[in-house]
A and B are shown apart, each in its own frame.
Chain A
Amino acid sequence: NAGVTQTPKFQVLKTGQSMTLQCAQDMNHEYMSWYRQDPGMGLRLIHYSVGAGITDQGEVPNGYNVSRSTTEDFPLRLLSAAPSQTSVYFCASTIRGLGTGELFFGEGSRLTVL
């Protein structure tokens, strides 16, 4: 059972570089989201999507773009990386309307911006 798969697991970027964090789920979940986890800050929502073609901003969306062209995939793009974006990023999904509220998380992607 793959569940939620994130790639890459580790990445080092230089300031100003761009990259995409990939997230794919094979559970036919309509809801997908991206969080960042920082020491002392807990999890903060970046963007989320309630279905293909629909995205919305979370608490900390600046510097990040998302799109949802398929149910399975929800990539997170950093157009011009900044040191403040050094963090661990988690993708999470669940059934439509957040259902029971149980989010299924990927294993995380650790990003360092120099």
Chain B
Amino acid sequence: GDSVTQMEGPVTLSEEAFLTINCTYTATGYPSLFWYVQYPGEGLQLLLKATKADDKGSNKGFEATYRKETTSFHLEKGSVQVSDSAVYFCALRGNSGNTPLVFGKGTRLSVIA
């Protein structure tokens, strides 16, 4: 079945450092890919998405490119802030009808001033 593998955390960075969180997937066909973020004490919210190969999703300075050749959707940000401290989830949705989203296990990011 479909699955998502994320790099394990926690990840601790200093403010203004470069961030990469790796995500690879296994799925048939052409799934849609997502990054969700969960701030402390809150539910998840969509950060960015890409629906076809070579698409780049971007939001709040974060970017991720859908790479079908490497089945990857790595999350990057050039300069992290303390307010980016959160848990980040990679997810995919298969390309048939009501297929539920499949989430990775999440990566906790802590940014220190």
Contacts and interface: CB of A to CB of B under 8 A. Distances in A.
Nearest to A47: B100
Interface in A1-16: 4
Q: What interface size band does chain A fall in? A: 20 to 34
Q: What interface size band does chain B fall in? A: 20 to 34
Contact of B43 (A40, A45, A101, A106): A106
A42 B103 contact: yes
B66 interface: no
Contacts of B99: 98
Given A43-B89, A97-B97, A98-B98, 12 more contacts: A4-B43, A42-B103, A42-B104, A43-B44, A90-B44, A98-B101, A101-B34, A101-B49, A101-B93, A102-B49, A107-B41, A108-B42
Interface of B: 32, 34, 36, 41-46, 49, 51, 89, 93, 97-101, 103-106
